[in-house]
Structures are given as structure tokens and as C-alpha cells.
Amino acid sequence: SSELTQDPAVSVALGQTVRITCQGDSLRSYYASWYQQKPGQAPVLVIYGKNNRPSGIPDRFSGSSSGNTASLTITGAQAEDEADYYCNSRDSSGNHPFGGGTQLTVL
């Protein structure tokens, strides 16, 4: 199955650490990529591969993976990190399923 499952909503206190998870069978074979989307804006890639950040993404964002679960961790969450986060993977057929998204609230 190519389905990816995320918790619909997560909250974190300002400056604390939060982990957003993504589960799916395809994650046993492929790394997840993670996207941040703020209201009215296009998604932005924040993590890809084993744990790679595109240029311009703060180092408080990190990724990890174990078995069928991928995680995005924000260490020292900032107010500007409040957004929707989506995981994405791929399968051998070239499909690219997205998770349902996690709405992150920074308190």
C-alpha cells in the first residue's frame, strides 16, 4: 500500500521540541520528504533523503526514519513554524503519495 498516515494536529510550546510522524509501508524502502505549507502559500520542501535540508531551511528542522515510520523534528519551535506539514514518499511505480497532513500549532 502507498498510503501514508499522519496525526491531524499537534501542538508545541514556543521553544520546545516537537516530533511529527508519518507511517506507511513505502517508508520501509524509501525515505520520506517533508513539506511545510502556510495558509495561502505553496508548499516548501524542508527535509528530504536521510536527513537533508534544502538551502535556507533552519537547522532546527531534522528528519529520521525507523521501519515504517518517518519523523520530522523541530527543535526549539518558533512562532513562524506554525503551519501544515506533509510527508511524501514514492513507490516503485513512480507514484508519490502524500500523508494527510499535520497542523502544527505553536502555543
**CA dist list (Å): 27 to 34, 54, 64, 94, 106:** 13, 21, 11, 14, 27
Among 37, 64, 68, 75, binds another protein (CB under 8 A): 37
Grid coordinates belonging to 64: 529520521
Work out whether 26 is an interface residue with another protein (CB under 8 A): no
Could you tell me the smallest distance in angstroms from the CB atom of residue 72 to another protein? 14
Instruction: Give CA–CA dist 84/78, Å, rounded.
Output: 14
Give the count of beta carbons closer than 10 Å to the beta carbon of residue 107: 10
Judged by CB under 8 A, how many residues of this single chain contact another protein? 26
Structural element, H or E, at residue 88: strand 83-88
Residue 70 is placed in which grid cell? 518517518
Binding status of residue 16 toward another protein by CB under 8 A: no
13, 95, 105, 107: which one contacts another protein (CB under 8 A)? 95
Q: Closer to another protein at the Cβ: 2 or 76?
A: 2
List residues near another protein by CB under 8 A.
Answer: 30, 33, 35, 37, 42-45, 48-49, 54, 84, 86, 88, 90-101
